[in-house]
Amino acid sequence: MITNIQRYGIHDGGGIRTVVFFKGCPLRCKWCHNPETQSFKPQTAVYPERCAGCGACKAVCGKTQDECGGCGRCWDVCVYGAREGAGRGISPEELANLIAKDMTFYTYSEGGATLSGGEPMAQDTAFLCELLARLRNMGIDAAIDTCGAVPWERFEAALPFAPVFLYDFKTLDPALHKAFTGHDNALILDNLKRLCEAGANVKLRVPVIGGVNDVDEQRRMAEYAGNLPLSEVALLPYHNTGSHKWRRFGMAAPDCEFCTPSKERMDEITGIWEKQGFNSVSIGG
Amino acid sequence: MERGMNERIRSLRKASADAQPRLSLERALLETVAYRLYEGRVSVPELRALTFKHIMEHKEIHINDGELIVGEKGENPQTAPTFPELCCHTLDDMRVMDGRELISFKVSDGDFKKQEEIIIPFWEKRCIRAKIMEAMTPEWKDCYASGIFTEFMEQRGPGHTVGSEIIYKNGFLDFKDKISESIKSLDFAKDPDALSKKEQLNAMSICCDGIIALGRRYEELARAMAGEESDPLRRIELERIAENCSVVPANKPQTFWQALQMYWFVHLGVTTELNPWDAYSPGRLDQHLYPFYKKDTDCGIMDEYHAKELLECRWVKFNNQPAPPKVGITLKESGTYTDFANINTGGVALDGSDGVNPVSYLILDCMEEMRLLQPSSNVQISKKNPRAFLRRACEISREGWGQPAFYNTEAIIQELLNAGKTIDDARRGGSSGCVETGAFGSEAYILTGYFNLPKILELTLNDGYDSVSGRQLGLRLGRGTDFKDYAALMEAFKCQIQHFVDIKITGSNTIEAIYAKYMPEVFLSVITNDCIARGKDYNAGGARYNTSYLQGVGIGTVTDSLAAIKHHVYEKKDITMERLLKGLESDFDGDEALRQTLLNKSPKYGNDDDYADDIMREVFKYYDDCVTGRPNMRGGSYRVNMLPTTCHVYFGEVMTASANGRRAGKPVSEGISPTQGADTNGPTAVLRSASKMDHLRTGGTLLNQKFSPGAVEGPAGLDGMADLIRAYFAMDGHHIQFNVIGRETLIKAQQNPEEYKDLIVRVAGYSDHFRNLGKALQDEIIERTEQAL
């Protein structure tokens, strides 16, 4: 199930990319900026400021947002755009064809598709493998933006298609990881190690969250990663861009506040990673 | 902070940018004197040529402080002559121009008096505008007054042409020799046109004398000023200027500096002879200047610094020339001071190889540093050009003010070949004006007017009746409710398009004949291949290629409207035709749900959705088939291009609401861009949709993209922009241009124009100061979709 297909992505893998946001994630990061991709079920977003009070939605479905099963009827009947859906099923074939629309752009930019979310690796494995096979057959480069918190077998199944893994590395501290994502990081670190051993193309993505993984933690993370056969890291400074989304989907926003790291702090952290031999890029600074 | 590479440029630029445009009657008065002297005694071309020569010999000339390139159309920067032989302004016109808030031209009290006592009595009945209005049929006049189409030639001359390398290889003494040869070869025993050819050729020779006289006068002035100059450095400059003017325009230029001065004299000649659309342009400037640049730098008489200083001096010269004063509908369709002199940098050389050279980069530097509205500075991007050139152009473009725009060299060449040009002429060509394709130096490609496609759909739904003007304009083919299915509606729509194209082209052909007979452009003919060899005027089919264009406007609006009708009325059947028509007539009064359904629940062009894009294709193809290939009166034929200038605002004003949810009176879509705000799938989807139009059949298409500054930030943003352009051009897209300004900035600039005096935006094929745009156009630009990440 996907929530969105975003074309012209230029920060999620090389070149111009079509980014597919899958629905469903094993983690519950408190800084998540796509909260609608956490649940594996469809959800309804409500925009009260657009609502004209016409009652069309109530006429087709009596449920409140909390009770919403994602049937989608209110999305169709609301002409004011006050109710929009997140989450629709799609076949690997249809998805691959949608991705292929921007083939010319991939050709000229050495771009491709980035599977993101949510957690693409948490989707049905057969679906994922068929999608990857179709992309490979069309000559479209695939990258998978993953949190790593899925059983190893899922990665193993994807390996033959040689995608690039954009692998999230949030913190080395298991307790911290558990506190902020709901999971410790043992499985994540293990999968990372195994991917490296299997010779997969892995690029780290490190969200820099002020108040969570600051300079000292970054130093530990960089040292750890420096011992793995990795050479690229993308540093993503935290931005408070997702907070309105929690509200729209009727979800309770986590009760913590994070800081956006300053440019000086980002420079310092970049230096830490480069000292460990990483090519680093900062995205969205 | 003033812009410019040094104090000289900064002060020249400031004088140009700060001056209030003014009207000048000098040219009109000199012309009146010449007509009193010669009219009735010589042929029409000779009359025009003697008038030209009289002006060149008697207009006041100046050399301003610090100038290195000399010559102005009026007495001062930002002074605009009038052309009463085309449009004899009434005193009311002049009061309006003097007093209006936007695009004003100040008129002195003395000039009001001269207009009233000298100009109006002499020109009122003689002017072309009067002849046109007398010759047009009542149905043409009704359509014109109701905004079905506009008419380019009612206040300005035909032009739409661009210079070639010919003026760097020939001086006007050389042209006179060629003219004599052509006269000698006339066969009075067999050729019934020999006499009229001789008159035309004589006239061309007189024009050469006229421009040579202007050069001599500047030579003398510069020498006299040098004699009195106390600053030794300036004295040397003035002596060099005198020396340059002793060479050009009589002889071909020898140096880079003289080449720039040569073009400038030619520019003054073309735009003083008449006020042709899109002024005149050097076209492929980097190709023309490079041999001079190489020679001068190789032998050490010029370095890069001085080359750039000369270029910047000429940039100021372009900016000193406001578009000719316009009134009425002509102002509405082109509401700007910009006169569209459009320089193409890059592309391919004549042998088809990569055309980027050191001058290309110098021009980009100059463009970036000067940040002037004029000249319209653009790049041609060929697949052969280095990525460094494309990236450098993107770097400047992402600064946000719309220059350079990007043209696709390979598409231009294919368009030209498709229209019957030779490969050499195609490679010499480019895009001028906004986006118009032409064989530079050899083609008269005359734009005849804009064509309001969405308005024709509006009439189709109303039995051909226009409720806005209260006129029966179209064919009586029934109302919306009479069409049993979508195919029937489409059929009726096509019949109406054909009907209005017929009216427009009949009118335009009559107007072409009027210009051929009464208003030859003799000087322009001298420098346009093959007018001398044919002994024929530019306006009478003398050019090697003679094309007429009809510019389609509102393809996004009309596509979305048809898509909404097809989807809701005929397929989903959730909206009845009665309800739709009632909503459109009443501007959705009391039925906002209808408007929201049309806006939010209908397929839209610009999203890479074949449902809508196929409709766009069908409408475009039909329009193209209706127009392309129809004969004009100059031995050539009509073609289409798709651009609006500011006409999409005017065309919206004359319309009721439309079926895409657009409210009555609001602008229609511009160029081939999607309807403002309708494209929600990002820039690649827009480019894919736009590329489904067959650009290669056109003479140019215009696509605007607006980006938030964040979307083009950093190396990834720059590369993304470059790759978008490459990919769009690989799909045969003709042109793309960018605004990179946040919506909030535009809104603030609208509220506090004083604080944003320097804010420049891309409108459509040209850039303009945001404060110089009418509110409706400002709103339209704010409403354009902003591509963000």
Complex ipTM: 0.95
Strands (E), B642-707: 704-707
With beta carbons under 8 A apart, name residues in chain A contacting B601: 79
The answer to whether the CB atoms of A108 and B683 lie below 8 A apart is no
Burial of B163 (0-12, 13-18, 19+ CB in 10 A): buried
User: B377: which strand partners?
Assistant: B343
Best probe of the A interface among B596, B679, B680, B691, by most A CBs < 10 A, is B596
Q: Three-state SS for A199?
A: coil
Helix (H/G/I), strand (E/B), else coil: B318: helix
- Name the B residues in 770-789 with CB < 8 Å from any A CB: 787, 789
* Token duo for residue B684: 């690649």
The pLDDT score that the predictor gives to residue A284 is: 64
**Could you report the per-residue pLDDT of B166-197, keeping only the tens digit for each?**
999 999 999 999 999 999 999 999 999 999 99
Closest among A254, A251, A257, A282 to A268, alpha carbons compared: A282
CB-based contacts of A72, cutoff 8 Å, min separation 6: A42, A85, A88
Using an 8 Å CB-CB cutoff, list chain B residues near A7.
681-685
B606: left (phi over 0), alpha (psi -120 to 50) or beta: left
- Residue B561: what pLDDT? 98
Question: Residues B134, B138, B140, B143: what is their CA dihedral angle, to the nearest 10 degrees?
Answer: 130
Output the CA–CA distances (angstroms, integers) from residue B133 to B144, B634, B647, B706, in the order listed: 11, 21, 21, 40
Average model confidence (pLDDT) for chain A?
94
Q: Which residue of A has its CA nearest to B683?
A: A8
Q: Residue range B224-242: average pLDDT?
A: 98
Beta pairing, strands B376-381 & B405-408: parallel
Tell me which chain B residues have a C-beta less than 8 angstroms from the C-beta of A11. 716, 789
What is the mean predicted confidence (pLDDT) over B228-246? 98
**Greater confidence, B760 or B365?**
B365
- The two beta strands, B79-81 and B22-24, are parallel
With 0-12 / 13-18 / 19 or more C-beta atoms within 10 angstroms meaning exposed / middle / buried, residue B7 is: exposed
What pLDDT is stored for residue B54 in this prediction?
A: 98
- Per the document, the length of chain A is 285
Distances in Å between the Cα of B289 and the Cα atoms of B116, B152, B248, B321 are 46, 32, 15, 22
Residue in B601, B608, B723 nearest the CB of A16: B723
Closest to B512 measured CA to CA, from B683, B358, B630: B630
Q: Which residues of B touch A102 (CB under 8 A)?
A: 684, 688
Strands B430-432 and B436-438: antiparallel
Confirm if B760 and B769 have CB atoms less than 8 A apart: yes
Backbone angles phi, psi at B355, to 5 degrees: -90, 0
CA B533 to each of CA B175, B178, B183, B197, B521: distance values in angstroms, whole numbers, following the listed order: 11, 8, 9, 10, 16
Coil, helix or strand at residue B553? strand
Give residue-wise pLDDT tens across range B84-98. Answer: 999 999 999 999 999
A180-189, A274-283, B157-166, B616-625: segment of lowest average pLDDT: A274-283
Which residues, including other chains, have CB under 8 Å from residue A102's CB and lie 6 or more apart? A7, A8, A16, A18, A111, B684, B688
Residue with the two structure tokens 């229209």: B419
Q: What is the pTM of this model?
A: 0.95
Of A11, A80, A105, the CB nearest to B716: A11
Task: State how far residue B606 is from chain A, nearest Cα, in angstroms.
Answer: 13
Are B636 and B548 spatial neighbours (Cβ–Cβ below 8 Å)? yes
Is the separation of the CB atoms in B199 and B253 below 8 Å? no
**pLDDT at residue A285, rounded to an integer:** 47
Residue of B nearest to A9 (CA): B789
CB contact (8 A) between residue B720 and residue A52:
no
B719 contacts in chain A (CB < 8 Å): 10, 15, 109
pLDDT at B495 over 50: yes
B789:A104 CB<8 A: no
Q: How many Å apart are CA B506 and CA B500, to the nearest integer?
A: 10
Q: Is B723 close to A108, i.e. CB distance below 8 A?
A: yes
CB under 8 A, 24+ apart: contacts of B753-760:
B760/B371, B760/B373, B760/B401, B760/B402
B687 contacts on A by Cβ (under 8 Å):
105
Q: Which amino acid is at B441?
A: G
| The pLDDT of residue A273 | 96
| Nearest of B658, B663, B557, B552 to residue B606 by alpha carbon | B557
Structure tokens at B520: 């030859």
In this complex, the residue of B596, B683, B723 whose CB is nearest that of residue A79 is B596
In this predicted model, what pLDDT tens digit does every residue of A210-236 receive, in sequence order? 999 999 999 999 999 999 999 999 999
Place of tokens 């998540």: A32
Rounded to the nearest angstrom, the minimum Cα separation between B77 and chain A is 45
Cis-peptide, bond into residue B753, ω within 30° of zero: no
Q: State how far residue B698 is from chain A, nearest Cα, in angstroms.
A: 22
A260 touches chain B (CB under 8 A): no
**CB within 8 Å of chain A, chain B residues 577-606:** 592-593, 596-597, 600-601
Residue B166 in tokens: 């010919």
Give, in order, the Cα–Cα distances in Å from B114 to each of A122, B51, B127, B386: 83, 19, 17, 56
Residue A58 token pair: 């109530």
Q: Does A107 touch chain B (CB under 8 A)?
A: yes
User: What pLDDT does residue A62 have?
Assistant: 85
Q: Which residue has the tokens 């073609």?
A: B639
Q: Which residue of B has its CA nearest to A76?
A: B601
Distance between CA atoms of A23 and A35, rounded to whole angstroms? Answer: 10
Give me the residues of B, 706-735, that contact A with CB < 8 A: 716-717, 719-720, 723-724, 726-727, 730-731
B692 in reach of chain A (CB within 8 A): no
Q: Answer whether B593 sits within 8 Å of A79, measured CB to CB.
A: yes
- Chain B residue numbers touching A10 (CB-CB < 8 A): 716-717, 719-720, 789
Q: How many CB pairs under 8 A join A and B?
A: 70
Give the N- to C-terminal CA distance of chain B in Å, as an integer: 32
Residue pointed to by tokens 């935006």:
B761
Please report which confidence band the pLDDT of residue A283 belongs to, taking 50, 70 and 90 as the band edges. Answer: confident
- Closest alpha carbon to B89 in B141, B127, B135: B127
Q: How far apart are CA B520 and CA B282, in angstroms?
A: 22
Band (B1; pLDDT cuts 50, 70, 90): low
CA atoms of B429 and B276, how far apart (whole Å):
19
Write the pLDDT tens digit of every residue in B298-353. 999 999 999 999 999 999 999 999 999 999 988 998 889 999 999 999 999 999 99
Pairwise CA distance, residues B90 & B470, whole Å: 28
Please tell me if residue A198 touches chain B, with a CB cutoff of 8 Å: no
Helix, strand or coil for residue A212?
coil
Average pLDDT over residues B374-389: 96
Question: Is the Cβ of B681 closer than 8 Å to some Cβ of chain A?
Answer: yes
Give the model's pLDDT for residue A13.
Answer: 87
Residue B75 has pLDDT above 80, yes or no: no
Q: Match 């040397």 to its residue by tokens.
A: B236
Compare B368 and B784 and report the one with higher pLDDT: B368
Interface contact flag, A7 B596, Cβ < 8 Å: no
| Helix, coil or strand: residue A119 | coil
Burial of B20 (0-12, 13-18, 19+ CB in 10 A): exposed
DSSP letters, B718-732, are HHHHHHHHHHHHHTT
| Residue of A104, A106, A281 to mutate, testing the B interface (most B Cβ within 10 Å of its Cβ) | A104
Nearest to B720 among A16, A52, A104 (CB): A16
CA atoms within 13 A on the CB side of B342: 28
Indicate the pLDDT class of residue B447, thresholds 50, 70 and 90: very high
Using the Cα atoms of residue B327, residue B330, residue B335 and residue B337 in order, give the sign of their dihedral. Answer: negative
Residues A114/A91, Cβ–Cβ less than 8 Å: no
CA distance B213 to B208: 8
Q: Using the predicted structure, report yes or no on whether residue B218 has a pLDDT greater than 70.
A: yes
CB B402 within 8 A of CB B739: yes
CA end-to-end span of chain A: 30
B263-298 tens-digit pLDDT = 999 999 999 999 999 999 999 999 999 999 999 999
Q: pLDDT for B504-563, tens place per residue? A: 999 999 999 999 999 999 999 999 999 999 999 999 999 999 999 999 999 999 999 999
From chain A, the residues in CB contact with B597 under 8 A are: 79
Alpha helices in chain A (DSSP H): 56-60, 73-77, 92-100, 103-109, 125-137, 152-158, 174-181, 186-197, 215-226, 243-248, 263-275
**What amino acid positions of B are annotated as catalytic residues?**
434, 436
Cβ-based contacts of A101 with chain B (< 8 Å): 608, 684-685, 688
Least trusted range by pLDDT, from A252-261, B388-397, B619-628: A252-261
Name the B residues in 276-305 with CB < 8 Å from any A CB: none
Predicted confidence (pLDDT) per residue in A63-79, tens digit: 888 889 889 999 999 99
Highest mean pLDDT among B33-37, B370-374, B767-771: B33-37
**Which of A4, A5, A6, A7 would you mutate first to test chain B, the one with the most B CBs within 10 A?**
A7
A8/B789 touch (CB, cutoff 8 Å), yes or no: yes
Query: What is the average pLDDT value for chain B, to the nearest integer?
Result: 96
Of B593, B731, B789, the CB nearest to A10: B789
Dmax (CA) of chain A: 62
Peptide bond into B93 cis (omega under 30): no
